C-alpha cells in the first residue's frame, strides 16, 4: 500500500499495554490507544506479543515468521497451547474458590488465535498510519474512496461500500475506516477533484444516514454498531467491536506531532492538529473516558490525549528554559477527573462538570494561553461549556516536562473577572501566580483555514 512499514510499527509501539478479560469489555475506541489481548492477564506476555507484532510490521514478516518468533516465548512462560493441549489451565499459585473448591484458570493462546491477532493488528496499524498520510495531503486530495477486495471472500456489507467516495471530514471516515470487522481486508485511497471528473464519480454524504444499533452477542452482552443506509438502498453495518478510526483517535501520538510540521509546515500542521484533536469521534471517546473516570473515583493509571503544544507555547517554554518534548501530546490523567484533586475542587464549588471535562480539547486548541511564571506552568482559559453563576471560564494548568510528559495538572471554573485580570495590564499577579500572555484565543469558526484567527 506504498506505506512505510515503520509508520505502522510506530502506531503499534505507541499503544499502552492494558490487561482485559473478554474482548467485549473494551469500547472500540479504546483499542486506538491501548494494546490488549483478551484474557491475557500478564503484562510481560502482552509486551512480548506487542513487540513481535511491531517487529513484524517493521520488517515485513509473514504470519509464519511472526508465529515462529513468538511461540517459543509464549511456551516458555506457559501461555501457548499446542495442538492437543488444554487451552484452559489452572492459574499458577491461585487459591481455590472457597465456595466451589475450583481453581481459577487462564486461557492460553493457540496458533489460530495468534493468526487472528496478527491479521487484525496488522490491518489496523497499516490503516491507522494510512489515515495520517492521507490527511497530510488533504488540501490536494480531499476525497476518500472505500476499496474492497471484491473476491469470493468479500462479505456483502463491505461489497456495498466498494467504490463509494466521501469527503475527508464526512462521518463515514470516522466510523467506516477499515478494518470494519474481523479479517476485513478493505482500505481507503485518496482522490482529487480531477479524479472525480475523469471517472464520473459523485461523492456521497452520510449526513442523517448513519444510525446506531444495539446487537446482542453470543455471551448475552450487548454492543453498539453503526449502520449506513446508502442513497441507493444498500445497507452497511460494522462488526461489533469495530466502527472507529484508530488513526484519527490516536492522531496526536509522537509520530504525528513530529512529522506534521515537516509535511504541512507549521501553520497548516497546527490547523490540522486542531481539527483532529476536536473531531467528533475523539470528543465522543473523551466523553466516555471522563464518565468512566468519574464513576471509578480512583485512578486506573490511564491518560487520554487531549492536546498538543503549538509553536507559541513551545517558544515560550524554550525562552523560560523549560525542558520539554513538543512531540508528546498533552494528556488528561483519569486521576484528575475522579481523584482527590477533583474532590477538593468539588468541595470548593469550582469543579468542572463532565461537559467541561469532555470539552478540554477545545479549551487547549482554541482558548487563550498564558505563562504562570511563579509555578512554571502553561495556563489555558476558555468559556465554560457548563457555567455556574459567575464561574463562566475553564482554567487548565498544564505542566510540560521532558520526563513526565505534557499533562493537565489541574482544572477548575473561574470568573469572568479572572480573564480581565489577566488581560489588563499585560502582566498581572493573580493570587500566587504571575501570568504573561502566550497566545490569544483562536476563533474556532475560522480555524479551518490556513491562517489562525485570534480574538
Q: Tens digit of pLDDT for each residue in 203-212?
A: 999 988 988 8
Q: How high is the pLDDT of residue 368?
A: 92
Burial class (CB in 10 A: 0-12, 13-18, 19+), 389: exposed
222's grid cell: 450487548
Q: Which residue shows C-alpha cell 480555524?
A: 447
Greater confidence (288 vs 227) lies with 227
Q: How high is the pLDDT of residue 20?
A: 60
pLDDT for 288-314, tens place per residue? 788 878 877 777 667 788 988 888 898
358's grid cell: 469532555
Q: How high is the pLDDT of residue 55?
A: 86
Confidence of residue 175 (pLDDT cuts 50, 70, 90): confident
Comparing CA positions, the residue from 426, 361, 428 lying closest to residue 396 is 361
Confidence of residue 424 (pLDDT cuts 50, 70, 90): very low
> Across the chain, what does the average pLDDT equal?
80
Mean pLDDT of 63-77: 91
Angle at 419 between CA 418 and CA 424, to 5 degrees: 105
Q: In what order do the strands lie in the sheet with 187-191?
A: 165-167, 143-147, 187-191
Cα 346 to Cα 299, 338, 350, 367: the distances in Å are 17, 10, 6, 23
- 423, pLDDT greater than 80: no
Greater confidence (451 vs 69) lies with 69
SS3 labels along 229-263: ECCCCCEEECCCCCCCCHHHHCCCCHHHHHHHHHH
Q: Which of 24-28, 206-210, 232-236, 442-446 has the lowest mean pLDDT?
A: 24-28
Q: Which residues contact 364 (CB under 8 A, 6 or more apart)?
A: 277, 306, 307, 308, 330, 380, 396, 398
DSSP state of 25: G
Greater confidence (72 vs 344) lies with 72
CB 34 within 8 Å of CB 16: yes
Of the ranges 122-126, 163-167, 172-176, 278-282, the best mean pLDDT one: 163-167
CB 69 within 8 Å of CB 59: no
Q: How high is the pLDDT of residue 455?
A: 39
C-alpha to C-alpha distance for 20 and 42, rounded to whole angstroms:
10
C-alpha to C-alpha distance for 77 and 4, rounded to whole angstroms:
33
Torsion-angle region of residue 164: left (phi > 0), alpha (psi -120 to 50) or beta?
beta
Mean pLDDT of 435-441: 89
- In the chain, what percentage of residues exceed pLDDT 90? 22
pTM (2 d.p.)? 0.54
C-alpha to C-alpha distance for 338 and 159, rounded to whole angstroms:
44
Q: What are phi and psi of 358, to 5 degrees?
A: -70, -15
Burial class (CB in 10 A: 0-12, 13-18, 19+), 393: buried
Amino acid at each position: 500500500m506504498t506505506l512505510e512499514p515503520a509508520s505502522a510499527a510506530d502506531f503499534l509501539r505507541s499503544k499502552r499495554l492494558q490487561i482485559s478479560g473478554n474482548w467485549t469489555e473494551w469500547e472500540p475506541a479504546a483499542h486506538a490507544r491501548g494494546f490488549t489481548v483478551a484474557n491475557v492477564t500478564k503484562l510481560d506476555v502482552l509486551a512480548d506479543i506487542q513487540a513481535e507484532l511491531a517487529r513484524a510490521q517493521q520488517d515485513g514478516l509473514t504470519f509464519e515468521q511472526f508465529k515462529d518468533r513468538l511461540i517459543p516465548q509464549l511456551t516458555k512462560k506457559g501461555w501457548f497451547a499446542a495442538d492437543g493441549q488444554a487451552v484452559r489451565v489452572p492459574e499458577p499459585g491461585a487459591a481455590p474458590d472457597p465456595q466451589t473448591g475450583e481453581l481459577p484458570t487462564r486461557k492460553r493462546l493457540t496458533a489460530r488465535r495468534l493468526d487472528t491477532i496478527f491479521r487484525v493488528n496488522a490491518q489496523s496499524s497499516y490503516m491507522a498510519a494510512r489515515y495520517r498520510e492521507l490527511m497530510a495531503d488533504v488540501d490536494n486530495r480531499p476525497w476518500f474512496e472505500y476499496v474492497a477486495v471484491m473476491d469470493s471472500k468479500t462479505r456483502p456489507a463491505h461489497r456495498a461500500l466498494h467504490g463509494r467516495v466521501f469527503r475527508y471530514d464526512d462521518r463515514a471516515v470516522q466510523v467506516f475506516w477499515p478494518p470494519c470487522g474481523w479479517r476485513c481486508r478493505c482500505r481507503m485511497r485518496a482522490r482529487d477533484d480531477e479524479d472525480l471528473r475523469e471517472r464520473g464519480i459523485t461523492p456521497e454524504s452520510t449526513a442523517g444516514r448513519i444510525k446506531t444499533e444495539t446487537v446482542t452477542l453470543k455471551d448475552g452482552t450487548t454492543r453498539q454498531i453503526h449502520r449506513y443506509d446508502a442513497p441507493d438502498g444498500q445497507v452497511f453495518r460494522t462488526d461489533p467491536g469495530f466502527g472507529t478510526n484508530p488513526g484519527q483517535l490516536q492522531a496526536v501520538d509522537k509520530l504525528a506531532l513530529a512529522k506534521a510540521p515537516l509535511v504541512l509546515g507549521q501553520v497548516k500542521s497546527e490547523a490540522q492538529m486542531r481539527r483532529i484533536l476536536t473531531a467528533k469521534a475523539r470528543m465522543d471517546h473523551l466523553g466516555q473516558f471522563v464518565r468512566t473516570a468519574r464513576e471509578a473515583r480512583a485512578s486506573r493509571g490511564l491518560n487520554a490525549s487531549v492536546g498538543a503544544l503549538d509553536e507559541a507555547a513551545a517558544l515560550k517554554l524554550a525562552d523560560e528554559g523549560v525542558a520539554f518534548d513538543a512531540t508528546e501530546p498533552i494528556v488528561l490523567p483519569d486521576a484528575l477527573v475522579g481523584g482527590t484533586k477533583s474532590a477538593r475542587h468539588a468541595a470548593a464549588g469550582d469543579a468542572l462538570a463532565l461537559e467541561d471535562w469532555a470539552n478540554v480539547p477545545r479549551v487547549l486548541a482554541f482558548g487563550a494561553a498564558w505563562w504562570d511564571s511563579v509555578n512554571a506552568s502553561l495556563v489555558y482559559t476558555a468559556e465554560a461549556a457548563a457555567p455556574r453563576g459567575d464561574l463562566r471560564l475553564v482554567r487548565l494548568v498544564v505542566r510540560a516536562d521532558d520526563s513526565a510528559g505534557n499533562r493537565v495538572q489541574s482544572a477548575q471554573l473561574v470568573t469572568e473577572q479572572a480573564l480581565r485580570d489577566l488581560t489588563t495590564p499585560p502582566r498581572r499577579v493573580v493570587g500566587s501566580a504571575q501570568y504573561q500572555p502566550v497566545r490569544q484565543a483562536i476563533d474556532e469558526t475560522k480555524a479551518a483555514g490556513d491562517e489562525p484567527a485570534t480574538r
